[in-house]
Amino acid sequence: MKRILLMSLVLVAFFMAGCSSPAIEDSVAPTVSSVSPADAAVDVLISGDITATFDEEMDSATITIASFTLKQGSTDVPGAVSYASNVATYNPTSDLALGTVYTATITVSAADMAGNAMAAAKVWTFTTAAAPPAGPAKVALGTAGNYVILAETGITTTGVTAITGDIAVSPINAAAMTGFGLIMDSTTTFSTSSLVTGKVYAADYTEPTPTTLTAAIAAKLAAYNDAAGRTSPDSSELGTGEIGGMILVPGLYNWTTGLTISTNVTLNGAANDVWIFQIAGGMTQASTAQVLMTGGALPENVFWQVAGAVALAATSHMEGTVMSAGAISLAAGATVDGRLMSQTAVTLDANTIVEPSL
């Protein structure tokens, strides 16, 4: 009997040992999933940080000035290194030099929490801007910048409109978006339209959409007030409110009246230069009149702050973010490389609207 009991105990121990799962040891080397500035980026601001995002949690003790370096040629750039939430940050002690190539490196001494070191060093280069941005500081759009059209009382369209980017209305409901043939997504957090390369949002969709839109509307108003509140304009009452035919350099422009663009106007500047137009009345752009960008200027750096209504006539072309306290209306064939943000409604008619970068 004792022999049988002993054998039973041995079998139980054997099976228990066989059924236990061995611990899984992490032996995979970490990698850098993204960097900022991007590899080979140009016109990089001289005052920003350099970051590297890892694909897993790293041992912060291995993320140091020795494992994360920044060089101008063979010369080390003084700075401090920090690590949080899988992101290593190199903060230069002073601004970088203009028009200069820099090389950032994460060495193989950087290791994850299991002690696995990088299999190979991550090396990337970038070039700073040749000159500091001209004009005022850029208007921060916040989460309002996530939308190419953002309105409070409605967005309507007729004809074959083509919109690239997300659009939204709040606090009004989706019924105020007409002409889009909206199709509700199964999540009920957004809808789609054949006219929109992106998503369509409204205040009556399922959370988190209403909360997200409330924040975006607040950000839109903050951006409008920021642009309207800028002081010391570089130019006041230029052309007594008629700028057709002009070539405008970066700067802050102010009018106590409305603004008319009767013929082509050119914004000439570099990729980081900024234009802000403060308009106390409405803004009207004539048929076929175009806002043109030359010298590398980009629409994401152009801001039209309009206290009244905005009317873009047939086949006109606008560049930049239009922030209006009144309605924004586009006649047939008008096009926009930028954003339309109204504190009331946006009305479209067979228009093409393309969202720029932030």
On average, the pLDDT of the chain sits at 93
Closest CA to 105 of 118, 93, 86: 118
18's enclosing H/E stretch is helix 2-19
What CA–CA distance (Å, rounded) separates 279 from 276? 10
What CA–CA distance (Å, rounded) separates 128 from 270? 13
Residues in the chain: 358
Cβ contact 278:252 at 8 Å: yes
What CA–CA distance (Å, rounded) separates 245 from 149? 28
Contacts of 250 (CB under 8 A, 6+ apart): 133, 134, 135, 267, 269, 273, 274, 275, 297
- The pLDDT tens digits of the residues spanning 306-320 come to 999 999 999 999 999
What CA–CA distance (Å, rounded) separates 235 from 254? 6
- The pLDDT tens digits of the residues spanning 181-209 come to 999 999 999 999 999 999 999 999 999 99
Q: Which residue has the tokens 């994460």?
A: 106
The percent of residues in the chain predicted with pLDDT above 70, rounded, is: 93
Cβ contact 180:195 at 8 Å: yes
What CA–CA distance (Å, rounded) separates 85 from 55? 10
Q: Which residue type, as a one-letter code, is found at position 272?
A: N
Cβ contact 345:157 at 8 Å: no
Q: Which residue has the tokens 């309207």?
A: 228
The percent of residues in the chain predicted with pLDDT above 90, rounded, is: 88
Q: Which residue has the tokens 């001494």?
A: 109
Contacts of 235 (CB under 8 A, 6+ apart): 251, 252, 253, 254
Arithmetic mean of pLDDT, 220-243: 98
Give the pLDDT score at 4.
Answer: 43
What CA–CA distance (Å, rounded) separates 228 from 240? 19
pLDDT at 9 over 90: no
Closest CA to 353 of 323, 319, 327: 319
- Is the pTM higher than 0.75? The answer reads no
Q: What is the CATH T-level fold of the domain 32-128, as seen in this structure? A: Immunoglobulin-like (2.60.40)
pLDDT at 3 over 90: no
Handedness of CA 237, 241, 247, 249 (dihedral sign): positive
Handedness of CA 219, 221, 227, 231 (dihedral sign): negative
Helices (runs of H) and strands (runs of E) counted in the chain: 2, 32
| DSSP structural state of residue 152 | S
Rg of the chain over Cα atoms, rounded to whole angstroms, equals: 28
Task: Phi first, then psi: give them for residue 299, nearest 5 degrees.
Answer: -65, -25
pLDDT at 340 over 80: yes
What CA–CA distance (Å, rounded) separates 176 from 169? 8
- The pLDDT tens digits of the residues spanning 109-143 come to 999 999 999 999 999 999 998 878 899 999 999 99
- Which of 4-18, 241-255, 333-347 has the least mean pLDDT? 4-18
Q: Where in the chain is the domain with CATH 2.60.40.1220?
A: 32-128
- The pLDDT tens digits of the residues spanning 55-74 come to 999 999 999 999 999 999 99
What CA–CA distance (Å, rounded) separates 53 from 44? 18
Arithmetic mean of pLDDT, 137-166: 97
